[in-house]
Structure 1
Amino acid sequence: MTYTAWILLTASLVGLSCGIIGVFLILRKMAMMADAISHTVLLGIVLAYIITRELSGTHMLVGAILAGLVTALLVQWLHTQGVQQDASIGVVFTTLFAIGVILIATSVGNAHLDVQHTLMGEITFVPWDKITLPIVGDVPKATALLALVLCIVLFFIIVFYKEWKITSFDPALAASLGIPVVLMHYLFMSLVSITTVASFDAVGAIMVVAMLITPAAAAYLWTDKLIHMLLISGTIGVLSAVGGYYIAAWIDTSISGSMAFATGIAFIISFIFSPKHGIISKYIRPAQIIKG
């Protein structure tokens, strides 16, 4: 594959996996949790580096996932203590992210680990860092990791589809049916953390948040059926990734930033033209009722 094709494939995998996970974040009214985890994984990455003094390896992934889970646990704990959920998210993620930034400035030294890279990523470097896989051959490390994460996400969503559906729409009903709501919550937070971490190094926090929230929010405007929402959100994520790349090439700017911008364009189109919740349909419907 060409250099451009690897970038497009990597970004599309981010868009697809984040788009699917994002649907459940929107349905569970936990959209800002994506923002929180995408920032607090920095602390896990920094701590893993301080312990091992290596910038690559499984330990970085484990550290970031643990940081995501700690974020979810702290937010849930503060919420059970009477703090509003949005306030809990704001307190936890700003505090943990700030600790990560301080550690970068004081303990990391000259290692290539900085806040700018954290926020924007550097997807243009992805095709150069390759690993050799059986049958497939040489594949960028980030692409292989994202493909693995997508398979994991799809596996758990398909296997526990009924449980995700019930716990997302009616947790009380799920508990009455014997579904372990708390366990499903933390399993879901684990999937969010894994997806965020896998996307983090290549595209940065900004695009991760954009891909987790915006395609799902746009899909929510088009349909009320969960399976259709998942398909539409994943499709918007992929189209935004591809379209964003060509926007960046056209105006010579940040690729990740352009991909995030493309998700915003997709949402605006959905907000205007969606048949049920779109602005145009809201004006047309009253006019039809009056005529009738």
Structure 2
Amino acid sequence: MSYEAWIVLTGALVGVTCGVTGCFLILRRMAMLADAISHTVLLGIVLAFLISHSLDGIYMFIGAAIVGLLTAFFVQLLNSGGVQSDAAIGVVFTSLFAIGVILISLLAGNIHLDVDHALMGEITFIPWDTVEWFGLTGVPKAVWMLGTVLVLNVTIITLFYKELKISSFDPALAAAIGIPVLFIHYLLMGMVSVTTVASFDSVGAILVVAMLIVPGATAYLLTDKLSVMLILSGAIGVVAAVSGYYAATLLNVSISGAMATVLGLIFAIVFVLSPSHGLLSKWMMKKKYIQSKKQLQQS
């Protein structure tokens, strides 16, 4: 494959992986927790390197998953202790992320773990960082990582689809019929953590939030069926990634920034034109209601 094709493929994998996973965050109203995890996993990556002295993907996955779960645990602990959920997220997010930044500055400043790269990512370097797995050469490491995480997430969603669906829409009902709500919660947080760290090299910690939230939020406006929402969210992520790449090439701007911007534009269009939840449809329904009310009054 060409240099350009690898970049487009990597962006598309980020879009579909984050998009599918982010649907459940939207349904659970946990968008800001995704923001917190996408930043605090930096601490997990740093700790994994300091312990293993390696930047191999498996160590980063383990470190990110552990810190991601700790983030969710600390937020829930503070929330159950009387702290408002948004305040709990803010406290945990800033504290753990700040510790990660300090550790990078003190102990990991001379390696490929700089703050700017972790925050913004650089997808243009992805095609040069290749590894040989299963006899295949020349495949970027990011493609292997994202592909593995995508398969993992889809497998988990398939196996626990009913549990994820019921606990997302009605946690009380899920607990009443015996679904392990807490286990499903932390399972989802683990999915978010590994998805985030797999996306670091391409879109960075900040812009991965857009990939996790905006496709799902857009699909939510287009359908009321979860299975369709998952498909639409993944498709929107892919379209935004591919369109963002060519827009960035045309305008000579940041690729990851262009992808997130395209996501925002798609959401804005759907927010206005959605058949059932869009501003235009609501305005038309309101207009029809006013007209029918006037007709009733006149008669």
TM-score, normalising length: structure 2? 0.94
The residue type equivalent to 1:205 in the other structure is A
Partner of 2:231: 231
Aligned residue in 2 for 1:59 = 59
1:75–1:291 distance in 2 versus 1, CA, 3 Å: same
**Contact (CA 8 Å) 1:75, 1:92: kept in 2 or not?**
yes
Give the distance between the partners of 1:149 and 1:108, measured in 2 at CA: 26
Cα distance, 1:45 vs structure 2: 1.1
**Residue matched to 2:82:** 82
The corresponding residue for 2:164 is 164
**Cα distance in 2, alignment partners of residues 50 and 158 from structure 1:** 35
Q: Which residue of 1 aligns with 2:296?
A: none
CA distance in 2, matches of 1:207, 1:236: 15
After superposition, residues 211-290 of structure 1 pair within 5 angstroms as 211-290=211-290
Equivalent residue for 2:200? 200
Q: Distance in 2 between matches of 1:60 and 1:155?
A: 21
Which residue identity does 2:176 align to in structure 1?
A: S
SS of the residue 2:221 aligns to = helix
Of structures 1 and 2, the larger Rg is shown by 2
Identity of aligned residues (%): 60
Cα displacement (A) at 1:112: 2.5
CA contact (8 A) 1:206 1:260 kept: no
Q: CA deviation at 1:57?
A: 4.5
Contact map agreement 2:273 2:281 (CA 8 A) in 1:
yes
Name the residue aligned to 2:189: 189
1:98 corresponds in structure 2 to 98
**How far apart, in 2, do the equivalents of 1:129 and 1:110 lie?**
19
What is the one-letter code of the residue matched to 2:174? A
SS in 1 for 2:139: strand
Pairing 1:127-146 to 2, within 5 Å after superposition? 127-134=127-134, 136-146=136-146
Local SS of the residue matching 1:55: coil
Distance 1:273 1:176, change over 3 A: same
Task: For structure 1, list consecutive stretches of 5 or more residues without a partner in the other structure.
Answer: none
**Per-residue deviation, 1:288:** 2.5
Q: How far apart in 2 are the matches of 1:63 and 1:79?
A: 24
Equivalents in 1 of 2:57, 2:9: separation in Å? Answer: 22
How many Å apart are 1:54 and its aligned residue? 2.9
Residues 222-258 of structure 1 deviation map (CA, whole Å, 9 limit, x = unaligned): 1111111111111110001011111110111111111
Output the CA distance in 2 between the equivalents of 1:65 and 1:217.
Answer: 24
Shift of 1:291: 4.1
Amino acid at match of 2:101: V
Q: Is the 8 A contact 1:46 1:100 kept in 2?
A: yes
Q: Which amino acid aligns with 1:85?
A: S
Cα RMSD, aligned residues only:
1.3
Cα separation, 2, equivalents of 1:161 and 1:151: 15
Residues 1:8 and 2:15 are matched in the alignment: no
Match of 2:119 in 1: 119
Q: 1:173 to 1:282 in 2, by over 3 A?
A: same
**How far has the Cα of 1:10 moved from its partner?**
0.8
Unaligned runs of 5+ in 2: 293-299
| Range with greater deviation from structure 2 (75-84 or 43-52) | 43-52
Distance in 2 between the 1:49 and 1:169 partners?
38
Give, in angstroms, the shift of residue 171 of structure 1.
Answer: 0.5
> In the alignment, what sits opposite 1:42?
42
Structure 2 residue matching 1:139: 3-state secondary structure: strand
CA distance in 2, matches of 1:154, 1:110: 37
1:185 maps to amino acid: H
- State the alpha-carbon separation in 1 of the partners of residues 227 and 291 from structure 2: 35
- Residues 237, 263 of structure 1: 8 Å contact kept: yes
- 2:278 and 2:60 mapped to 1: Cα distance? 43
In 2 relative to 1, CA 14–278 (structure 1 residues): closer, same or farther, beyond 3 Å? same
Letter in 1 for 2:107: S
Q: Residues of 1 paired with 2:207 and 2:134: CA distance? A: 31
Whether the 8 Å contact between 2:39 and 2:206 is mirrored in structure 1 is: no
